[in-house]
Amino acid sequence: MLFPSPATVYDLGLNGGPIESTKRSATRKSFGSYSWSGSTSSRPSTPAFIESKPAMSGPVEKIVKQFRREFCYTPLTIFTSGQDKSVEHNEIPDCQFRKVFFTDDTSVLDPTALSDMEKYVRMTVFISTSDEGFENPKIFVEQQVSRSGCKCIVAHVLAFNGKIQCDVDYRFPGCGDELQPGRPRDLILRVKSLDGSIFASRMANASYYGYDIKRSAYVDEGTISRGLDLPWEDASPILANHFSGEHLKMLLDTQSKKIVPVGGRGRGKQLFHLNLLGFGQRAGDDSYVGDLQLEVVYVY
């Protein structure tokens, strides 16, 4: 049986021929256990994080109501990686807040981020430069989790143990969205400080909830002929406060057959609905004003 033997190598002389005195055997090098060394290359190190944890966690409604007095002059801001901006899934009765919907695009820029997505949820939040010096600032984030087979939202009030360090990564274990039920990922959070005008423009793209005013009035077979005096002081600058019975009956006959539930009153037919932009509640810092929504319903 033949076994492979090392090759014989020589150094070459000026004429291109081998130099006999330099005869030696080649050595085999295994690359299976190659170790990084030298001044120009080094093995990538594990990212360094500032370890932290939330100061408080709970349902969004509980968190918003807990801090509403503290944020009466500035809207309470929640950062979320969710993408559902609908009023139906975000608005909470008697709660005013805004959400900044954030999409992390690092997986496009950095291919190695794809593997990190199984362990981390990365989020960048921003503050105004005027807020950098605050001690123990409050930043609110959402986490999407599963409870008993149903998706739900948990809000976290993040703690920073002093002043925020901008442009560094904080790790909040178990505070990231679940990739699989019962397996929350860590939240990797980076804070960016923005100039006042840039910060305001970013917040202009936030979604505000709880600032709309909703008013309803009801008529039935016995009262429609008498007309309706609107009880909405909010509408008086722009709407007549009285609708005649004749107009209401016309609406009843001509409107589409839209049946709406009427709490404690059975079923009803919506005679009209108006959405008046900019006549709702105003945020404490004047950054936003809601709408006034008016409807009249005929109750069967």
Write the single-letter amino acid at 121.
V
From 15-19, 37-41, 99-103, 217-221, the region with the lowest mean pLDDT = 37-41
Q: Write down the mean pLDDT value for the chain.
A: 80
- Which helix (H) or strand (E) segment is 197 a member of? helix 196-203
- Picking from 150, 105, 87, the residue whose alpha carbon sits closest to that of residue 280 is 87
- Picking from 170, 213, 174, the residue whose alpha carbon sits closest to that of residue 52 is 170
- pLDDT, residue 237, reads 55
CA distance 115 to 107: 9
- pLDDT, residue 254, reads 77
- pLDDT, residue 211, reads 95
- pLDDT, residue 250, reads 86
CA distance 42 to 38: 7
**Contact (Cβ atoms closer than 8 angstroms) between residue 52 and residue 160:** yes
For the cut 50, the answer to whether the pLDDT of residue 43 exceeds it is no
For the cut 80, the answer to whether the pLDDT of residue 242 exceeds it is no
- pLDDT, residue 5, reads 52
What residues contact 68, with CB distance under 8 A and at least 6 apart?
76, 95, 96
Span(s) in the chain for CATH 2.60.260.20: 50-209
For the cut 70, the answer to whether the pLDDT of residue 264 exceeds it is no
> DSSP letters along 223-285, please?
TGGG-EE---GGGTTTS-SEE-HHHHHHHHHHS---EEEETTTEEEEEEEEEEETT-SPBPTT
CA distance 218 to 184: 47
- pLDDT, residue 219, reads 87
**How far is Cα of residue 182 from the mean position of the Cα atoms in its chain?**
20
**Contact (Cβ atoms closer than 8 angstroms) between residue 23 and residue 10:** yes
Write the single-letter amino acid at 97.
F
CA distance 107 to 101: 17
Residues 81-140 have pLDDT tens digits of 888 999 999 999 999 999 999 765 544 445 555 567 778 899 999 999 988 888 888 999
- pLDDT, residue 40, reads 44
Residues 186-239 have pLDDT tens digits of 999 999 999 989 999 888 899 999 999 988 888 888 888 888 877 666 554 556
- pLDDT, residue 257, reads 59
Q: CA-CA distances (angstroms) from residue 5 to 20, 26, 27, 30?
A: 20, 9, 10, 16
Q: Length of the chain, please?
A: 300
Q: Assign domain 50-209 to its CATH superfamily.
A: Urease metallochaperone UreE, N-terminal domain (2.60.260.20)
Q: pLDDT grade, residue 268 (50/70/90)?
A: confident
Residues 62-77 have pLDDT tens digits of 999 999 999 988 999 9
